[in-house]
Structure 1
Amino acid sequence: MSRIQDPQKAFFPHGNPFRMILPKGSSLSPKLLALLNKFEETLAERLRQLKPVHKEDVFSFSWMVLAMKFLSETHNDIISLITDLELPVHHWDDKWIDVYLDNSVKLLDISNGFSSELSRLNQGQLLLHLVLHRLEGKSSTDLSKAKSSVDSWKQLIATRNPKIENCITNINKLLESLEFPKVKNSAKGKVLMRAMYGVKMATLFICSIFVTAFTGFDQNLIGLKVSGTPLWEGAFNDLQASIYGEIRNLVSSGRNLLLKELEAVDIGVMELYPMIQEDNETAESDDFQKSFIDLGDKVEKLSSGLDLLTKEVDGFFQIVMSGRDALLCNLRVSTAFDPPKKCRKEQLLVR
């Protein structure tokens, strides 16, 4: 595994995105400032809550479920903010709309990639359930079939998922779009841009961690340095330093599988595998029974974790879709004030 990139290294592809969001000397009304502060304070608190009590829990399914819930709640906050800002702002530049819709498509692709990997791992746990079922027979034929299923498990785990590779590509493209197009003279637009900057930073952070968990490689983790002084800056930096520190420890330990429940199952399989290749008497031994029961418990934990995380990833996909729908709905309303652009806006509905 390659070394993780320095988390303190700033990633500003085309200058400082934060300066573009709220230029020096800009001012907001008390109402808009209150909306922005509420959003940023909520994001800061959620980031603090995401910091694991025990660092070794970083790649457990329980923490990953919390991380995906965090993303869903944060993206829901953007939908609420759009409503609170009383959009539409029909004179926004079409370029910003295009960027938002393009980014949301990439997020949907990333979600599909995660779902694909979870589905693949679910196939693996089904194979292990089959192994356990066959080992209950303890005959030579049963042991031979169990060995074949274990071999299939090992081959599946060693295979790379091309859809996760596509996630990496999309994450890199999202990184390149941290710089937003300039917003026309709209205070509401600037508030939304600043809020979306926070959402995008959090999303990139979590998605890169998920890719690392699924691939076992850390070269795609990118140190994100917050630009400006949003209210969530300290919480973000603290969480990133904590998580990346633990990832360094895991990678340096030489672990091939970073997902805790998946690694536990793999260890259990490797302990039982030599016994499967021996005679029937081995299957009656105390060591065999102990390993058999232990593997069964680990497989159940893996199965439960996969179900919970799959549910959260699917929920995140639906929320991203809802965000697109909310924007498109506001755009449709805006066409009532700008009839000549109706055809241009309606084209967005088929993206």
Structure 2
Amino acid sequence: MSRPQEPHRPFFPHGNPFRMILPKGSYLSPKLQALLNNFEETLAGRLRKLVPKCKDDVFSVSWMLLAVQLLSETHNDIKSLITELGLPVVDWDDKWIDVYLDNSVKLLDICIALSSELSRLSQGQLLLHCVLRNLEQSGSSKAKSSIDSWRQHIGSKNPRIDNCFAIIDKLTESLELPKVKNSAKGKTLMRAMYGVRVQTLFVCSAFMSAFTGSDKKLIDLHVTGTHLWGEAFNDLQRCVFGEIRNLVLSDRNVLVKELEAVSTSVSEVYSVFQEGVEPTKSESVQKSVVELRRNMDELSSGLDLLAKEVDGFFHIVLSGRDALLGNLRVSGSVFDPPKKHKMEEQLVR
């Protein structure tokens, strides 16, 4: 489905984007207000959980796991809210559907890119196993060669991750939601969806920094106090983004904590090679090897768990998209044949 190209507008030039969704004096029934408050309070609690207890927790695998888990919970909650609202898909504005489907494709692309990066890092672990085997069997020359191969592999760029920068730009633009017609349920849904999009954008942009060592796609947002989760988000963003920028300024190419620990252990082993000491005869190398094994195991288990969480999030997004398309086909065939044709074009696009 082709859409007319609108001129680029400054990002939130007039402050709160929800002034157009829930203007002053806008009325929600007690039931709708309770549903919205419950959603926003739950979101606020999740955002508070993501505030690191100390700065070293930023980009630990455990923090990244929690980020994906909480994001999955929020996306499940928005599906439940849609059901509770009892807002038939035939009553959705076409612009809502367009934004939802477009964003879901972008999120699926990001999930695929993240999965490919996690797989690439796991492949690097195989090279390190070669390092350990060579240290035990072949001496320093082959082990040194394996370390060089690992460094080259870890230092290489993943084109899929680089492509996510443009996707994040598009997700940012979609935060400026279309106007909502006179529908209290629609206004409730759009306000809740704003929270989902903000949390999603935060996690995606943070992860891109983790895997690229760059802070150029950190999107600083300010959420007003009219949202029950606004203060929690602003605190989280200030804490995490501030630490990310500190890490980038320190010229650290590796931001993932467990990967950095592995890299440090590898450097300690490699430094002995530079001194011409035979590793099997060096007590310091043997200690470094033990530490390297431990760090490798921790990284491997973390990567496996994170890959499963990303895959789970992928299927949550995909199932939500499929459910919407299924409802559109059913409603289109019964109520609005032209809309059915329109949405099939959207699916092919």
Alignment check: 8 A CA contact 2:43 2:74 kept: yes
Q: % of aligned pairs identical?
A: 69
Q: Deviations over 1:114-133 (max 9, x none)?
A: 11111111111111112112
Give the Cα–Cα distance (whole angstroms) in 1 for the partners of residues 200 and 192 of structure 2.
Answer: 12
Amino acid at match of 1:256: N
Match for 1:98: what amino acid?
A: D
1:113 maps to what in 2? 113
Residue 280 of structure 2, aligned match among 260, 265, 283: 283
Identify the residue that residue 169 of structure 2 maps to in structure 1: 172
Cα pair 1:17 1:227 within 8 Å, conserved: no
Correspondence for 2:258: 261
Amino acid paired to 1:229: T
Name whichever of 23-32 and 169-178 sits farther off.
23-32
Provide closer, same or farther for how the CA distance between residues 219 and 340 of structure 1 changes in structure 2, counting only shifts above 3 A: closer
The amino acid that maps onto 1:258 is L
Aligned AA for 1:317?
A: F
Q: CA deviation at 1:109?
A: 0.7
Residue 206 of structure 1 and its aligned partner are, at CA, apart by 1.0
After TM superposition, the structure 1 stretch with the greater mean CA deviation from structure 2, 37-46 or 328-337, is 328-337
Q: How many residues align?
A: 339
Say if 1:44 and 1:152 are closer, same or farther in 2 by CA, change over 3 A: same
Deviates more, 1:254-263 or 1:301-310: 254-263
Query: Which residue identity does 2:126 align to in structure 1?
Result: L
Aligned equivalent of 1:342 = 340
1:268-289 per-position Cα deviation (integer Å, ceiling 9, x unaligned): 1111113346768442221121
Q: How does 1:1-351 map to 2 (within 5 A)?
A: 11-12=11-12, 16-137=16-137, 139-140=138-139, 143-227=140-224, 229-276=226-273, 281-335=278-332, 336-348=334-346, 350=348
Deviation at 1:311, TM superposition (A): 0.8
Q: Deviations over 1:171-203 (max 9, x none)?
A: 011111111122232221111111110110111
> Which AA in structure 2 matches 1:87?
L
CA distance, structure 2, for counterparts of residue 103 and residue 30 of structure 1: 31
TM-score (norm. length: structure 1): 0.90
Following TM superposition, by how much is the alpha carbon of 1:242 offset from its aligned partner in structure 2, in angstroms? 1.4
Instruction: Provide the C-alpha distance between the structure 2 equivalents of 1:339 and 1:257, rounded to a whole number of angstroms.
Output: 53
Closer, same or farther: CA 162–289 of 1 in aligned 2, 3 Å: same
CA distance in 1, matches of 2:75, 2:216: 26
TM-score, scaled to structure 2: 0.91
Q: Tell me the distance in 1 between the aligned counterparts of 2:120 and 2:14.
A: 38
Distance 2:198 2:19 in 1: 15
| In structure 2, C-alpha distance between the alignment counterparts of 1:319 and 1:108, rounded to whole Å | 10
Once the two structures are superposed, residues 279-316 of structure 1 have per-residue CA deviations (whole angstroms, 9 ceiling, x without a partner) of 68442221121111111111111111111111111111
Gaps of 5+ in 2: 1-9
SS at match of 2:23: coil
Q: CA deviation at 1:48?
A: 0.9
Amino acid at match of 1:341: K
Deviation per CA, 1:26-45, whole angstroms, max 9, x where unpaired?
21112111111111111001
What per-residue deviation string (whole Å, max 9, x for no partner) do you get for residues 303-340 of structure 1?
11111111111111111111112322332343323345
Higher relative contact order (CA 8 A, sep 6+): 1
SS in 1 for 2:91: coil
- Write the letter of the residue equivalent to 2:342: R
Q: Measure, in 2, the Cα distance between the counterparts of 1:90 and 1:185.
A: 15
Stretch deviating more after TM superposition (172-181 or 240-249): 240-249
2:218 alignment partner, SS class: coil
1:4 maps to which residue?
A: none
